Amino acid sequence: MIDFNSYLNRQKFVVVDGAFATELERLGLDIKDPLWSALALIDHTDMIEKVHNMYLKAGADIIISSSYQATVDGFAKKGIDKDKALSLIALSVDLAVKARDEFVKSSDFDSSKREKPLVAASVGPYGAYLADGSEYRGDYKIGLEELKLFHKERLAVLASASPDLFACETIPNLTEALAILGAIDDLKLDVPAYISFSCKDEAHISDGTSIEDCASALNEFSNVLAVGLNCTAPKYVESLIKHIVRKTDKPVIVYPNSGEIYNPFTKTWSGGSVSFSERAISWYNAGARLIGGCCRTTPEDIRAISEFARN
């Protein structure tokens, strides 16, 4: 297990990568599919490696695997059998590790100026599998034990590919966060995790639970590296950070959306984006120690954050 506190303390803050699906679309891949960016695992692995490399070059200290929406049941709907689906889920981590290892051997990496990047295996919520927008509401019709069962198989397969950590992201309710941690404990996986919630406003996660209650509940878990938010409007982030730091001594992670507004029913974006270089300063000053971007953010946004982190 990585000594994450030492890794963090050697830096001003840790830079997380940005949107994956946006870059796949820019490379020409049509991902209007329930599998979303995980669709590329089937026959566009070269694109996945390219996107990882773009974020590494931009200065990301953590790159996140393309497994957010990758599940056995999801692949089954594409006619892919269980064994193949499990291999594709593991492949998501393999590709990220390969991209990272090749990057640190290249002339683009200077070990005197930055730490070796980490690979986080993305663990998306149950709602991402449903693909009905419920990862932004948290109104599931199943409970903790069923959520544990849903996550167990994927967690085990992701862990087998040896990521540095789990990125448990866009979690819309506290029950699911506790279910994921319970599944990790049941499986006795030696992989730490961060928990990142999707939030509806400046003080609450998607299902209406107070972010302070979530931070307090997760503070006791020794394998939780950081607590925070992603896939959230930038205008709420500074306030959310202030709420989180009141209830936990764990590092705070934030990687919000670009500022555009997503409609989960039409699956379209509207509005304008914000300057991440300016926002990162306020988020850092509020207490964030891991900062990146989520939907619609770009390598350029991550480069701006990285320049602030290393100056």
Kindly list the domain boundaries of the chain, sorted by start residue.
4-309
User: What is the fold, at CATH topology level, of the domain defined by 4-309?
Assistant: TIM Barrel (3.20.20)
295 is in an annotated binding site: yes
Amino acid, single-letter form, for residue 59: G
More confident of the two residues 55 and 267: 55
Q: Write the CA distances from 16 to 46, 159, 252, integer angstroms.
A: 21, 20, 12
Cβ contacts of 165 within 8 Å, gap of 6 or more: 2, 4, 62, 118, 119, 120, 121, 191, 192, 193, 194, 225
Return mean pLDDT, the chain: 94
199 is in an annotated binding site: no
Separation CA 140–CA 260 (nearest Å)? 26
What pLDDT digit, counting tens, does each position of 277-288 carry?
889 999 999 999
What local confidence, expressed as pLDDT, does residue 228 receive?
99
Q: Write the CA distances from 303 to 15, 21, 59, 247, 292, integer angstroms.
A: 9, 18, 6, 31, 10
Percent of the chain having pLDDT more than 70?
A: 95
More confident of the two residues 184 and 128: 184
214 is in an annotated binding site: no
